[in-house]
Amino acid sequence: MLLRTIKLPEEALFALPQLRPNIRLSPFDSSRVEYNAAVLQRSSRAPVPWREVLGGGHRYFTMTRSGREALAIALTELRLSPLDEVLIITTSGSPYISRCVTDEVERVCRWTRVFGNACKAILVIHDFGFPASVPASLREKGLPIIEDCAYALGSGRCGTLGDYVVYSFPKAFPVQYGGLLCAHTRVRATTSLSRKGRAALVQWLNHYLPDRRSNALRRRRCFTTYSTILAKYDYEPLFPLVHGVVPHAFLVRFKNEKKAADVRAHMNAFGIESSVYYGGGGYYFPNHQNLGPAQIHYIVRHFLQAAEGVTSKAPREPELKRYRRAKALLELEDPHIDVPFDTRCTEV
């Protein structure tokens, strides 16, 4: 069972800049500020049972201010020299790597996509929750492995391979900060996370973590809804949604990077956080548990609008008719769509 799409009027789709929504890759939005403040009045302060929650076999867990800081600490623990190299492996093998990752590696040593004698560690990035794999020939070399699970909390077997595992909580839950470093040995480096910030983060995680399985189902259902709607216009997901995967973004196959840059300008101008999957032949936009049917319609409508060559400039009132293009091209159907789905879902 899928989300039911809801059509919005043109005036809402093309509102004035100051009245447009702000739809992020993170499930956090401004409505959560008051909600999270209220959670601090009632949520448990007990330590988070990470071994039970994550199941990766790690013994030591360090909460950090961000996933980026968790990665920095892991790299520090490896005691790499400036001439050492970290081999980076991603899901697609494409050139796309976030600068949040490469900048942190470059503070310590060099990084590479090809194994060589200078490689002293392996960094595995599970792109947006879709698992990457390490070839057996590399695992046999016994190099330490860091798993970047910033976008992969709870997705398949992500987080069970690495000597160190990095998580970023704002990418999974509606919180504004927080990361986690999992390790088999005690971590010596310290974090910039304050005592008060840590205490609040523990309470928020104790509140949100029990819903992680239902959140995973909602993310999968959002992904399937995107796939079903966009298939009508000959767009398909870049990665298939296989059993157990929890998608943290929707990646649509889009090979024309020049055109994708125009799509990015349009969608970001209309309040949708999105970008080009550079070198990977795709484009990605939000896919999380707090997206509703109207938001999905808003995202898809603007993606199609931009992908079909309409400029990112919002129409003035007399120009709205020009934006009402042929229904076969841009209008989304309302009827409930039922397609095969491997996990039972309930309505949001």
pLDDT for 348 equals 23
Mean per-residue pLDDT over the chain, rounded: 88
Q: Where in the chain is the domain with CATH 3.40.640.10?
A: 50-210
pLDDT-above-90 percentage for the chain? 82
* d(C-alpha 170, C-alpha 177), whole Å: 6
Q: Please report, as a single letter, which amino acid is at residue 306.
A: A
pLDDT for 283 equals 97
- What does the pLDDT look like over 293-341, one tens digit per residue? 999 999 999 999 999 864 334 444 443 443 343 333 334 433 333 322 2
Q: Encoding tokens for residue 103?
A: 């900048």
Q: Encoding tokens for residue 288?
A: 């999380």
CA-based R_g, the chain, Å: 21
Q: Please report, as a single letter, which amino acid is at residue 263.
A: V
- What does the pLDDT look like over 231-251, one tens digit per residue? 999 999 999 999 999 999 999
pLDDT for 136 equals 93
Is residue 5 very low, low, confident or very high in pLDDT (cuts 50, 70, 90)? low
Architecture category of domain 50-210 in CATH: 3-Layer(aba) Sandwich (3.40)
Architecture category of domain 10-28+212-330 in CATH: Alpha-Beta Complex (3.90)
- What does the pLDDT look like over 87-123, one tens digit per residue? 999 999 988 899 999 999 999 999 999 999 999 999 9
pLDDT for 308 equals 80
- What does the pLDDT look like over 51-66, one tens digit per residue? 999 988 999 999 999 9
Please state the rounded mean pLDDT for residues 139-144.
Answer: 94
pLDDT for 320 equals 43
Q: Where in the chain is the domain with CATH 3.90.1150.10?
A: 10-28+212-330
Q: Give the closest residue to 158 by CA, choosing from 167, 166, 149.
A: 149
Please state the rounded mean pLDDT for residues 216-245.
Answer: 95
Phi, psi of 52 (to 5 degrees): -75, -40
Three-state secondary structure string covering the chain: CCCCCCCCCHHHHCCCHHHCCCECCCCCCCCHHHHHHHHCCCCCCCCCCHHHHHCCCCCEEEEECCHHHHHHHHHHHCCCCCCCEEEEEECCCCCCCCHHHHHHHHCCCEEECCCCCCEEEEEEECHHHCCCCCCHHHHCCCCCEEEECCCCCCCCCCCCCCCEEEEEHHHCCCCCCCEEEEECCCCCCCCCCCHHHHHHHHHHHHHHHHHHHHHHHHHHHHHHHHHHHHHCCCCCECCCCCCCCCCCCEEEECCCHHHHHHHHHHHHHCCECCEEECCCCEEEECCCCCCCHHHHHHHHHHHHHHHCCCCCCCCCHHHHHHHCCCHHHHCCCCCCCCCCCCCCCCCC
